Amino acid sequence: MSIRSFVALCNPRLIVLFSATILLTASCEGPEMPSPPPPEPVAVAPDSSALRPDPGRPIGGNMATPPFWKVRLDEPDPAMTIGADDTTDDIYFVSMTPGWHITTGPAGIIYHPASTAAGAFTARTTIHLFAPGDRNEAFGLFVGGMDLEGANQTYDYFLIRNSGEYLIKRRIGSETQLVQDWAPSPAILRYTDPTVSSVANELRIRVTGADVVFSINDVEVATLPAADVRTEGVVGIRVNHDLNLHVSDLAVEPAG
């Protein structure tokens, strides 16, 4: 079954295929943060063929909204529902081996509260972008998440978009601050061939004692003073409007 057929069978909005292995930070500097039970490990898809639905399994079978994971939208709406019914829920968020599906239109963040980092560490993710059509929406990695369920939420985020550009920005409450404006990078792999299922880009944020280094596909694209980036806190994924993604890896590793 093609990804287009799969999308048609599921929610008519976007399908975000979200599969991650969360490696929690160990032996990092700073006080330990309280954390809820960690997520169950999920196998990482080895290649794009594993991202397609199993033709022997009914679409929507054996799915449930994963426990402990959180979704926060840029514009929260108490009437909006998040669940496992793609015909009634506003946000369709379910576990499906080898990962999770999310169907939504609004922009926001997706995270597990136990995925935290402090001190010197590397946060990384590999995200597969499926056919975006004429949309040029951004997606990527965030660090430094604090008070993510409160009015004073903060996090810094590192995004790319299919135009071949990257951005570094900060959210404080309902406002955002520019850290580094959109800039082109040849390191970004763009989705330009409709005959392929997806393109994958790896994003890394490496925190040292003095600097924070931002990389795309092992190419350093920006280095900022550590004082200019908020890194201590929750690590997760940032997804803008109407994107079809598969996150095949999400990890937080102590500096070696």
Can you give the residue ranges of every domain in the chain? Answer: 3-254
- The predicted structure's pLDDT at residue 55: 34
Q: Is the pLDDT of residue 40 over 90?
A: no
Cα distances (Å, whole numbers) of residue 98 to 12, 18, 47, 196, 254 = 22, 9, 12, 20, 25
Half-sphere exposure of 184 toward its Cβ, with a 13 Å CA cutoff? 3
The top-level CATH class assigned to 3-254 is mainly beta
- Looking up tokens 């597969």 gives 128
* Confidence band of 62 (pLDDT split at 50, 70, 90): very low
Angle 210-211-213 from CA coordinates, rounded to 5°: 160
Distance set, CA 28 to CA 23, 121, 124 (Å): 13, 7, 16
The b-or-e profile of 160-193 (16+ CB within 10 A means b, else e) is bbbebbbbbbbbeeeeeeebeeeeebebbbebee
Q: Picking from 41-45, 81-85, 189-193, which range would have the lowest pLDDT averaged per residue? A: 41-45
Average pLDDT of span 92-121: 80
Estimate to the nearest angstrom the gap between the alpha carbon of 177 and the chain centroid.
Answer: 20
- The whole-number pLDDT of residue 219 equals 98
- What is the SS3 assignment for 45? coil
Higher pLDDT, 137 or 99: 137
Task: Answer whether residue 254 shows pLDDT above 80.
Answer: yes
Q: Which residues contact 117 (CB under 8 A, 6 or more apart)?
A: 25, 28, 123, 143, 207, 231, 232, 233, 235, 252
H/E run at residue 4: helix 3-9
pLDDT confidence of residue 87: 78
Would you call 8 helix, strand, or coil by DSSP? helix
Instruction: Check whether 75 has a pLDDT greater than 60.
Output: yes
Confidence of residue 36 (pLDDT cuts 50, 70, 90): very low
Q: Do residues 71 and 89 lie in contact, with contact meaning Cβ atoms separated by under 8 Å?
A: no
pTM of the model as a whole: 0.75
Mean pLDDT, range 187-192, rounded to an integer? 97
Q: What pLDDT does 97 receive?
A: 66
